[in-house]
Amino acid sequence: MRASERAYATLRDEILDGVLEPGTQLAEVEQSTRLGVSRTPVRAAFTRLTADGLVRAQSPRVLVVTDLSAERIREVYELRQALEATAASLAARRRDEAPFAELRERLAAAPQQLEAGESGVARYFEVVDDLDAAISAAVANPYLEAALSSARLHSARVRRIARHDPDRLREAAAEHLLVVDAILAGDAELATHATHVHLSRSLRNALARIDT
């Protein structure tokens, strides 16, 4: 992996995981030293993070991690509602059943996994990421996939808000299972509805938690 890719991936993951919290300043020289790379790859990473909307410029050499306000969360979910519902509908029409059948088995085991604490939560989110990838592959539309990738990137920051809410995680697993069942059945309308319900509940939960 190139130094710029490594720097970008590290900083992106730290922002998504909340290690680098909203408002954190990222100085080019400081991050270059911390990550063990020259300033050029850090500068390239900063450019990509800015394009992603994960950071904003405070000065030519200093960035700030963007905030995660209620307004921004609503905006992300407005976009996801439009994109994900369309993607689920198309996936139900175009899917190859095999990957979704496998995902169904993994989601059915999610409630037990979630009882295992942080390691189980991590495995559950791996299933969620694989479901997103399977839907994108089934849709087979590079334009929609690119838009979904951007929306899901920001949604990953919101997702950590529910990371320590076991009740919500179990509900979400059941909602994802309904989406998969609808796709396997080839029921585009149900896939759309199930996706809408899941995202609506996720948004409500996220807003409630940041307001507490």
Confidence at residue 173, expressed as pLDDT on a 0 to 100 scale: 95
The structure tokens listed for 60 are 């030519």
- The residue type at 139: V
Confidence at residue 212, expressed as pLDDT on a 0 to 100 scale: 55
- The residue type at 25: Q
Confidence at residue 132, expressed as pLDDT on a 0 to 100 scale: 96
**Residue whose token pair is 């899917």:** 95
Confidence at residue 69, expressed as pLDDT on a 0 to 100 scale: 86
Nearest to 209 by CA among 153, 159, 162, 152: 162
Residues linked to residue 62 through DSSP beta bridges, in sequence order: 27, 59
Confidence at residue 211, expressed as pLDDT on a 0 to 100 scale: 63
Confidence at residue 80, expressed as pLDDT on a 0 to 100 scale: 94
Q: Rounded to the nearest 10 degrees, what angle do helices 39-52 and 3-16 cross at?
A: 50
Per-residue pLDDT reduced to its tens digit, 80-92: 999 999 999 999 9
Residues 6+ apart with CB under 8 A from 176: 107, 110, 127, 128, 131, 198
**Phi, psi of 64, rounded to the nearest 5 degrees:** -130, 135
Confidence at residue 94, expressed as pLDDT on a 0 to 100 scale: 96
Give the residue ranges of the chain where pLDDT is below 70. 162, 211-212
**How many residues are there in the chain?**
212
As a whole number, the mean pLDDT across the chain is: 91
